[in-house]
Amino acid sequence: MGATEVGAKVTEKAANFKNAFHSREGFNGATQTWSNEVLDPTPPEKRTCKSYWRWWNYVTFYMGLSFGNWTLGSTMVGIGLNWWQSILVIFASQLISSIAFSSTPARSVFGMWGSYYFVGARAALAIIWYGVQLYSGANFMSNILRCIFGHDLTDIPNHIPESFWLFHFPFCAFRPYQLKAFFWFKSIIVLPSIWGLFIFCMVNTKGNVGSVYTTRINGNHGWFIMYAINSGMGNTATLITNQPDIARWSKTKTGSQWSQLITNPLAATLSASLWILATAAINNTWGLDLWNPWDLGAILGRYWSATTRFAVFLSAFTLLVSILGTNIAANMIPFGSDSSMLFPRYINIPRGQFIVEFLAFVICPWKLFTTVVAIMVCDYYLLTKGNVFIGHLYNGSKENKHCYYHRGWNIQAIIAYICGIVPPFLGFVGTLGASASSGAMDIGRLGWLLSFFVSFVVYYIICLVWPTHNQRIVKEMGLK
């Protein structure tokens, strides 16, 4: 690559960074509260090969997102399942999540003003999880620095690992469709790294997986399995409501559906299986009880050679990239999209990403979004037959006959939402230490699935008796 091409690349990247702080022409002076470059349909001039994602882009996206999940296996073993029960539960939970992924339509069903609550709640959750991921990434950074500097690092107090959050800054300036290459890179380096770490654990322990953990289920097995499935779904539940923000870049109608429906369950299950076996071998042989992926430092405690330090460095670096990619996909992009919807005159995706970068540094209600997904799916597939009137999504006036509902709120959806979160609520409170009956605890363990079913059925029945104005119009127009 010549000097001219390098200069052009640098200029292009600098322009991307600068444009992160600018909206389209006339953006700040827009009179429409509901419209900006993020919320509007992609114009024809931007529908190019560079902006669109093909099905294989979604495969690499979900492969990188799901394959590096060490703690999903530890969650299952930690609550009392053995290895094969954990694997089956993980597959079931991720399959259910993937079906919800591929079925989630837009959030307009709650009304022009009603949707603000749900979008705001999801944005707040993104801040919390962003901070959690920063902590995980900082621990990988600590391993990397230990491999480089050895005891010169461990023998002195330092806060360098906390600077992991700075790695996110360059990515804040980009929009989702500009990150295809990064997600491709992440999937390429994460897969061989995880397989390499698995092989190392098996070889150095001679495959001493032992009993691979025994079942510690107390009480009714059926309730416990449902509780485990519900716990597993927490791994991806926060992403479900933001699927339209990712799927909108698909080149075809089904490009984002089948790719993730197949990739996510298989990748998550295989990844968790490798981690369960590798960790069991290490714990059984070395007499430890390790489950966090950044416990790679235990290897350095037994093999302090240059070769081992380099291998641990590579593993920690790839897992650091994995955490970085997960934070971008699951927290930065969703917050950028949600905040642009909350404040469309002032925030676009890059601006929102810079905001969450700082908010997360300063600082598990994902089950509340189950009811949101249920209502969206019911309305889209059963009640309005997949008919969305795009032009009316940008009109918050009373003249909007499709999305205004009751003063901008879909009352039927709000009722169904409340009905969905009530049944497992006492069980949820019981998990926090409050007094709760065994029946309430059992119902609480159904969590995600129970809330989804209740909200789905309640909303459907209410709308059969008391349909929304939009549903009546769809029926009168004979749309299918």
Where b means 16+ CB within 10 Å and e means fewer, 307-345 reads eebebbbbbbbbbbbbbbbbbbbbbbbbbbbbbbbeebb
Specify whether the CB–CB gap between 101 and 243 falls below 8 A: yes
Write the DSSP assignment of 15-62 as a string of letters: HHHHHTT--STTSTT-S-TT--TTTSPPPGGG-STTT-B-HHHHHHHH
Query: What distance in Å separates the CA atoms of residue 145 and residue 401, rounded to the nearest whole number?
Result: 59
Residues in the chain predicted with pLDDT less than 70, given as ranges, are 1-3, 6-10, 12-33, 44-51, 105-107, 151-163, 211-220, 238, 296, 361-369, 431-432, 480
For 218, which DSSP code?
-
Burial of residue 258 (number of CB atoms within 10 Å: 0-12, 13-18, 19+): middle
Q: Look at residue 298 in the predicted model and tell me its pLDDT.
A: 74
Specify whether the CB–CB gap between 101 and 260 falls below 8 A: yes
* 226-244: pLDDT as tens digits: 888 887 887 777 677 777 7
Q: Look at residue 402 in the predicted model and tell me its pLDDT.
A: 84
Query: What distance in Å separates the CA atoms of residue 46 and residue 363, rounded to the nearest whole number?
Result: 37
CB-CB neighbours of 351 under 10 Å: 20
Sign of CA dihedral 73, 75, 81, 85: negative
Q: Which residues contact 383 (CB under 8 A, 6 or more apart)?
A: 460, 463, 467, 468, 471, 474
Vertex 235 angle, CA 209 and 312, to 5° = 50
Specify whether the CB–CB gap between 451 and 424 falls below 8 A: yes
CA 3 from chain center: how many Å?
40
Query: What distance in Å separates the CA atoms of residue 345 and residue 434, rounded to the nearest whole number?
Result: 44
Percent of the chain topping pLDDT 90: 7
Q: Which residues contact 329 (CB under 8 A, 6 or more apart)?
A: 61, 65, 183, 239, 246
Query: What distance in Å separates the CA atoms of residue 74 and residue 273, rounded to the nearest whole number?
Result: 10
pTM of the model: 0.74
Specify whether the CB–CB gap between 123 and 130 falls below 8 A: no
What angle do the packed helices 438-465 and 369-378 form, to 10 degrees? 30
Q: Look at residue 152 in the predicted model and tell me its pLDDT.
A: 59
Query: What distance in Å separates the CA atoms of residue 152 and residue 169, rounded to the nearest whole number?
Result: 28
**Amino acid in the structure at residue 451:** S
For 215, which DSSP code?
-
Q: Look at residue 468 in the predicted model and tell me its pLDDT.
A: 92
Q: Look at residue 432 in the predicted model and tell me its pLDDT.
A: 65
Q: Look at residue 458 in the predicted model and tell me its pLDDT.
A: 95
